[in-house]
Amino acid sequence: MNINEYRAQIERTIEKGKYKDTWESLCKYESPLWYRDAKFGIFIHWGIYSVPAFGSEWYSRNMYKKGSSAYEHHITTYGTHKEFGYKDFIPMFRGEHFDAEEWMRLIAQSGAKYVVPVAEHHDGFQMYKSELSRWNSYEMGPKRDVLLELKKAAEKYGIKSCLSTHRLEHWFFMGNGRLFESDINDDVNREDIYWPSCNPDPDFNDVTGGLAPSDEFLDDWLIRTCELIDKYDPELIYFDWWIHHESVKPWLRKIAAYYYDRAIDRGKEVVINYKYDAFAFGSAVIDMERGQFSNVRPYVWQSCTSVAKNSWGYTHKNEYKDAKDLVCDLIDIVSKNGCMLLNIDPMADGTIPEPTRRILECIGAWLSVNGEAIFGSRPWRIYGEGDVKVADGQFSDCGRRSYTAGDIRYTVNNGAIYAMPLATSDNGEYKLKAFALCEDVDSVNAFLGIIRDIILLNTGEGVRFERNNECMRILTERYFDEMPPVFKIITE
């Protein structure tokens, strides 16, 4: 099917479907129950950028930026950009140890309920078999349909198969290569991986002007995205940030309507993740990149973060987070009605780095004991208590927060309330102010229920507790596990 025929098919699907390409129609969307219950997913950044493994997954852009460390590293390591460009890494991206089932066993062990591999990153290389471009992993590099293999493995382990596409940013991503003698100075046409490589970079804060993508490129983006929808039937699509530009909106609405209508045809309930205000509020699920909300939200949302502080893709100098800190992030996010999408960083040969593997195993071990406080849970009437506050906003996940045993988060599930201190107590005592005795029965903050029992999930045993006018004291033996404890509060 050629592009014009595909475009006509998209229009027919929208015309006949429930959802139209208008915000009024798309705002009738409701996030599905499976997603609201899932709480924890795994993001996968694996691509050509894993070969140089320098700086970050933005190597394809930064190597063409004069004065950058990646630019200097590239010349020193590989030669001039005219002699060795980004596309010359493709034969080196062999993925000889890639095993989709082995990856998915580890992801299942982590407790994750959905998986989001990057189908196409900003570099324009597709990690799947495409009818629209030969620059893909089936025809080059590993010569495998990576996305399809991951989808089949995910389904085998009962994990929701999803994907992300960062194609839109390819409009400008490698455009700096046109400013000096490089392989991008050659004639670049639609059949080239570098097309269109527009220069200069846009002002990322200018959402109404600047270097807007051409209709030709936006049509290409539309068709590529719909090809992913039709061939891989994803249950969630994650878009990166630049889709919030004004010029993109007509195509964005068309993609959303097509995706939602195709999902209805297939009997599925699906999710779109977006950033900033790219979508009309309520027509998809907002994502906070490397950030969180300071308080509970009445709508479901997502925080995406990574096992590494410095990069989404693998680099030789990735600085890894502590598993305990990631579990604390998960607890905080879920208490505020969010889901956490945690990224992993496979190496170019398909190996999962050992620090990443250990993190996933540690999170999985915690969730195997305490998962009932997370999966399928909902926020309590307050998200938590304590002195340490999480700041609103994106790109705030790398500073370690000094939580104490007084920083507590709450969820509810199946009639029980779960209290999760974000740090362990030195003496085994925990003070929950939300459960203090209150003489004013009309106070909005008073807990007037009857507590029958409190169980420490790590041991499965009941613990002593007492209530006074200041708090409820939970008294345990000293808890030696460094991971956050979870108390199940059972009420009459």
Nearest Cα to 487, choosing from 458, 467, 451, 446? 458
310 and 397 housed in the same domain: no
Q: Which of 315, 340, 373 corresponds to the end of one domain?
A: 373
Phi and psi torsions of 382, nearest 5°:
-130, 150
384 and 360 housed in the same domain: no
CATH assignment at residue 321: 3.20.20.80
Q: How many CA atoms lie within 13 A of 336 on its CB side?
A: 24
CA–CA gap between residue 241 and residue 320 (Å, rounded) = 24
Query: What's the confidence (pLDDT) of residue 441?
Result: 67
CA–CA gap between residue 400 and residue 213 (Å, rounded) = 39
265 and 360 housed in the same domain: yes
Amino acid identity of residue 357, one-letter, is R
184 and 244 housed in the same domain: yes
Give burial (CB, 10 Å; 0-12/13-18/19+) of 52: buried
Query: Is 265:304 a contact under the CB 8 Å cutoff?
Result: no
> What is the pTM assigned to this prediction?
0.97
89 and 117 housed in the same domain: yes
Q: How many CA atoms lie within 13 A of 250 on its CB side?
A: 7
What interhelical angle do 100-110 and 354-370 show, nearest 10?
A: 40
| First vs last C-alpha separation in the chain | 62
Please report the sign of the dihedral spanned by the C-alpha atoms of residue 49, residue 174, residue 204, residue 246.
Answer: negative
Query: What's the confidence (pLDDT) of residue 130?
Result: 97
Q: Which of 314, 344, 373 corresponds to the end of one domain?
A: 373
Query: Is 450:378 a contact under the CB 8 Å cutoff?
Result: no
∠ Cα 169 173 178 (to 5°)? 145
Query: Is 59:43 a contact under the CB 8 Å cutoff?
Result: no
367 and 444 housed in the same domain: no
118 and 104 housed in the same domain: yes
182 and 289 housed in the same domain: yes
CATH assignment at residue 453: 2.60.40.1180
CA–CA gap between residue 414 and residue 430 (Å, rounded) = 23
Q: How many CA atoms lie within 13 A of 274 on its CB side?
A: 22
Tell me how many domains the chain contains.
Answer: 2
193 and 317 housed in the same domain: yes
Please report the sign of the dihedral spanned by the C-alpha atoms of residue 193, residue 195, residue 197, residue 203.
Answer: negative
In this prediction, the residues of the chain whose per-residue pLDDT falls under 50 are none
3-state secondary structure 238-307: EECHHHHCHHHHHHHHHHHHHHHHHHHHCCCCCEEEECCCCCCCCCCEEEEECCECCCCCCCCEEEEEEC
Residue ranges making up the domain that contains 62: 3-373
367 and 383 housed in the same domain: no
296 and 395 housed in the same domain: no
323 and 388 housed in the same domain: no
Query: What's the confidence (pLDDT) of residue 442?
Result: 66
Please name the residue that has the structure tokens 């691509």: 47
Q: Which of 335, 351, 373 corresponds to the end of one domain?
A: 373
